[in-house]
Chain A
């Protein structure tokens, strides 16, 4: 017999106020980022010193566009989840915490969007 109210059971929420969503998405993005960031780090390092045309040519290959967009999604999502935990751990004033959290989440969304739009613009022209 559960001591939870039926509503609590229906929502499936514990004391953390949310379910396992944060935990599992952090792990899922982590697993995705192992091959993605290895690939990004080595191909971008390989491009170092090449001219603008060579970089544009890189971003015209559909496979490169896909990998880069996936990397940006996974990396910025993973980063936002991680920063959220750090903020929750060290900022103890509830009001400040909510403020910092909003700035951080919107900032990561902004940087992620700029990155994806930039990749697509480099790929398909303006």
Chain B
């Protein structure tokens, strides 16, 4: 069990800022996920913690002891790699024993710890197999066993499930989270898959452009995104132009006020597609209900739900995702409809890529 503190971390590649003033505090035993699009710096940050890159400035400490100057092989952090990185010339058992041998443990100790680690990842029957005889999922289990067997202070995982097929990914995700909970090892997990991040983490840390956008619980991230980028990247959002009058903000596409701001400025209103309802005939008017008349652009039926694209009078795209509805699905492209959503479900953001939340 160990806590991790990162402060003022900075990493440059030539002139490119890969990490800019990263400050993170991870509680002991937490499952901490770095989430972001490719190139956002999440893998760079993970590799800097592992010691594969050196930072240009800043400190990293585990349980208060600073490690940022230690060589990679002297840091007590286990790592699980995206491409498994299982040693192809060693058997499963020898792969798992590798780190223990570096630590000069006795034969007996190594034997019992390897057996235990293989039991945890359910590979006890595969100890003598060679990696090429294993499936991708099994190889990644070896990668996990190899990383946890050394009892690292911190476990680092670099998109460990991204090379697996969809079904296995979901199964292994739950298993991974269980193992982590049982062992209580502080874990830093990197992914670009928001569903994975939300499902597994205690804390999700959204990164973009080398900067941390928001670090909070999955619910908080989803319900109260700190800025426009998070609102868009996690879960997706409709962003609509607004006009404000004496602090009251209303959609450019019309309708009642959706919120208020301190001073008149460029503001975007965001509403999640699943909060938008589609009405073809008469829309139920409620006190807090915002109505936006649209022309239907496209209707896609995707099984569990239908996705309806509406075009507002200002030409903006408004997406609605709701349970399939025979009447709506029967509509042709170009027919008129009214999209409605609750005022409470609208968030306001400054109008730029990482614009701050205003309400």
Question: Do A and B interact?
Answer: no
